[in-house]
Chains A and B, each alone.
Chain A
Amino acid sequence: MVLNWKWGGLLLGLVFFIAVLLVKPIGVSTQFVILDGIGWDIQSPDVVTQTEDGYTSTNAYLAKSDGKYAASVANPLNYSFVFVGAMMLGAGLSSVLRGGVPKGEYMVPALWRANFGGNVLKRWIAAFVGGFIVLYGARLAGGCTSGHMMSGMMQTSVSGYIFALGAFMAAFPAAIYLFNREA
């Protein structure tokens, strides 16, 4: 059902390499900010504004680095934002071709069910809270599992090692504590 780690690792490594070879290292978590910015800018159009030599924002985070994020919010048809859309397309197609997520799994995953039962609301709250912490942390760190851990460590960037150390130092004990029963 899942690819053998030798094939899987080789293919995943090739994708990360080809991304740097042809364009730039892969990263994902910034696009959560860009999507937020797009929504915010629709609500109140003066959040992101055009200047003489680019874009800026009333929000200090979107305005940082000469309005790099503000520019992406103003022009969503850019490499990194389209990339994440294409990731979803690829994962969706792959899922359809392998028969999709089994019934009884797409609401509450088996490992969660074995430890916390089949209550859907409980799982959704945990996923929501987890998502909040993950993206807050990723933005504070300036990258996520893709940008820091994979792209970072493959480039021998010190920030990648620091990030991986923090992430696994927290994730191993947390998962051992949470998921004592196996499934």
Chain B
Amino acid sequence: MLQIALAIVIGAAFGTVLDRIGATNPNWIGRMLNLTNLHLMKTILLAIGVASVLLFGGQMLGLVEVAHMSVKTAYVGVFIGGIMLGLGWALAGYCPGTGVCALASGRIDALFFVAGGLLGAAAYMLSYPFWADLGMLEGEKWTLGAVPGADYPAAIPTLQGDLAGIAVGAAFIVIAFILPKRIKGRRAPLGGAETPAE
């Protein structure tokens, strides 16, 4: 029962924050991905950095249970699936979490995203043996360094995992601060507005 209460409180907080940072708005996703406004990218980078520093700092101080970590397996399909998600993300302006939240926020096109998503997930359920037989789903649950108290294999065994986590988290925070708001060239001036007077 406590688990369900936590699901409601943390889930509602997550949905609220996603809505308030503009992640449920496909315009903000599109502007981030076409590099014309990286405000949301700065938000996400800072969030990953803050979460990482708190997680590994908390572990070093003994305040966070290492067993609560859950590292996913790295395999070839992660990369292929990432490319697919990236294409659909750009096209629709939604990812799974922001899509369901956008639907709840009152966007009708998100309903079609979620419907397509349910069909896509069903298609994967049926085609799972194909990918498994190809050996695309084989891998290890690597972390960057060796995290004390965890059983995950380390990609760089000599690296201390919790310190690495704090360092990488700090790097994310720094990148969030120095990333420019806009990368793509300036907006083309509207016709005639900038024509110099003769």
Q: Does B51 contact A (CB under 8 A)?
A: yes
Q: How many residues of A contact B (CB 8 A)?
A: 123
Q: How far is the CB of B12 from chain A (nearest CB, A)?
A: 4
User: Which residues of chain A from 1 to 53 have a CB within 8 Å of any chain B CB?
Assistant: 1-3, 5-6, 8-26, 28-29, 32-33, 35-37, 40
User: Would you give the 0/1 interface string for A156-183, flagging 1 where the beta carbon is closer than 8 Å to chain B?
Assistant: 1111101111111111101110111011
Q: Which of B90, B102, B109, B141 contacts A108 (CB 8 A)?
A: B109
Interface centre among B9, B100, B131 (most CB of A within 10 A): B100
**A142 contacts across to B, CB distance below 8 A:** 72-73, 75, 77-78, 81, 137
**B7 contacts across to A, CB distance below 8 A:** 23, 79-80, 82-83, 86
Asked if A94 and B105 sit within 8 Å, CB to CB, the answer is: yes
**A83 contacts across to B, CB distance below 8 A:** 7, 10-11, 14
Asked if B91 and A174 sit within 8 Å, CB to CB, the answer is: yes
**A172 contacts across to B, CB distance below 8 A:** 33-35, 90
Q: Which of A60, A154, A165 contacts B51 (CB 8 A)?
A: A154
Known: A60-B128, A136-B121, A155-B143. A130 touches B113 (CB 8 A): yes
Asked if B97 and A28 sit within 8 Å, CB to CB, the answer is: yes
The distance in angstroms between the C-alpha atoms of A108 and B108, with both chains bound, is 8
Q: Does B170 contact A (CB under 8 A)?
A: no
Asked if A6 and B46 sit within 8 Å, CB to CB, the answer is: yes
Q: How far is the CB of A182 from chain B (nearest CB, A)?
A: 6
Asked if B20 and A2 sit within 8 Å, CB to CB, the answer is: yes
The distance in angstroms between the C-alpha atoms of A18 and B79, with both chains bound, is 28
Asked if B113 and A141 sit within 8 Å, CB to CB, the answer is: no
Asked if A156 and B164 sit within 8 Å, CB to CB, the answer is: yes
Asked if B121 and A29 sit within 8 Å, CB to CB, the answer is: yes
CB nearest to A64 among chain B residues: B128
Asked if A20 and B112 sit within 8 Å, CB to CB, the answer is: no
The distance in angstroms between the C-alpha atoms of A91 and B97, with both chains bound, is 11
Q: Does A90 contact B (CB under 8 A)?
A: yes
User: Would you give the 0/1 interface string for A59-100, flagging 1 where the beta carbon is closer than 8 Å to chain B?
Assistant: 111101000000000000111101111111111111100101
Known: A111-B31, A176-B184, A179-B30. A79 touches B4 (CB 8 A): yes
The distance in angstroms between the C-alpha atoms of A92 and B92, with both chains bound, is 20
Asked if B16 and A93 sit within 8 Å, CB to CB, the answer is: yes
Q: Does B13 contact A (CB under 8 A)?
A: yes
User: Would you give the 0/1 interface string for B169-191, flagging 1 where the beta carbon is closer than 8 Å to chain A?
Assistant: 10010001000000010010000
Between-chain CB contacts (< 8 Å), 13 pairs: A8-B20, A9-B43, A19-B14, A23-B7, A60-B132, A90-B14, A112-B30, A154-B51, A156-B52, A163-B78, A167-B83, A169-B82, A183-B27
CB-based closest 7 A-B pairs: A166-B82, A130-B92, A137-B84, A9-B46, A141-B81, A131-B116, A86-B11
11 further A-B contacts with Cβ under 8 Å, apart from A15-B13, A16-B51, A36-B118, are A14-B51, A60-B132, A89-B104, A90-B101, A91-B24, A91-B102, A92-B106, A94-B105, A131-B117, A146-B97, A154-B169
